[in-house]
């Protein structure tokens, strides 16, 4: 392989090499630096939670917090569980995006990539494009999304029961 300078492939390769040499907590913190660009201007600050080694491998987690709002994030080999909290209301990222965007989506997280920081980049995109109510709003739209997600879960549960009965 010949190094061709600052070509797109070379930049991607160098970025991947840098990430591969980071440990889990360093990668988590580098990912949080990406999210800081969206979260900090809205007065959310990061609280690092648990990190260490478990049977599934090294992990790190944290929450972006502002008053009664929290963005919960978990990282192992890539960004995993992402959950939104306003007061006692809770939505996973997938449920929130489905409620906001519908089945066809348009959200970027979760995505597929060999670069563990891409999950943070994808989440950053979704936050800045689809989560305005969570970041700056009253939370009323978020509450509607929680109700919508609960209704969708009930429908999925009924469909599963019906398909089992038909088998």
In a domain, 152, yes or no: yes
Kindly state whether residue 97 falls inside one of the protein's structural domains: yes
Structural domain that includes position 63? 22-166
> Average pLDDT in the 120-142 region?
97
Return the pLDDT at 91: 97
Q: Once rounded to an integer, what is the mean pLDDT over residues 138-145? A: 97
CB atoms within 10 A of CB 111: 15
Tell me which residue has tokens 């978990």.
Answer: 74
Overall pTM surpassing 0.75 (yes/no)? yes
Whether residue 107 is contained in a domain is answered as yes
Q: Do the Cβ atoms of 94 and 74 come closer than 8 Å? A: no
Q: How confident is the model at residue 1 (pLDDT cuts 50, 70, 90)?
A: very low
> Is there a domain that residue 17 lies in?
no
Does 4 reside within a domain? Answer: no
Q: Is residue 45 part of a domain?
A: yes
Q: What's the length of the chain?
A: 167
C-alpha span between 63 and 85 (Å, rounded)? 10
Residue 8 lies in a domain: no
The answer as to whether 5 is a domain residue is no
- How many domains, the chain? 1
């Amino acid at each position: 392989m010949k190094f061709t300078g600052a070509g797109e492939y070379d930049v991607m390769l160098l970025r991947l090499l840098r990430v591969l040499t980071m440990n889990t907590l360093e990668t988590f913190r580098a990912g949080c630096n990406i999210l800081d660009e969206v979260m900090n201007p809205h007065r959310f600050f990061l609280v690092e939670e648990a990190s260490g080694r478990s049977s599934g491998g090294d992990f790190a987690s944290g929450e972006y917090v502002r008053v009664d709002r929290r963005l919960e994030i978990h990282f192992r080999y890539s960004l995993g569980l992402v959950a939104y909290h306003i007061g006692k209301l809770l939505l996973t990222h997938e449920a929130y995006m489905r409620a906001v965007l519908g089945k066809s989506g348009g959200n970027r997280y979760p995505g597929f990539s060999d670069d563990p920081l891409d999950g943070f980049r994808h989440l950053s995109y979704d936050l800045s494009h689809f989560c305005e109510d969570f970041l700056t709003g009253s939370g009323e739209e978020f509450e509607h999304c929680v109700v919508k997600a609960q209704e969708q879960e009930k429908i999925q549960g009924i469909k599963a029961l019906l398909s089992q009965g038909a088998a």
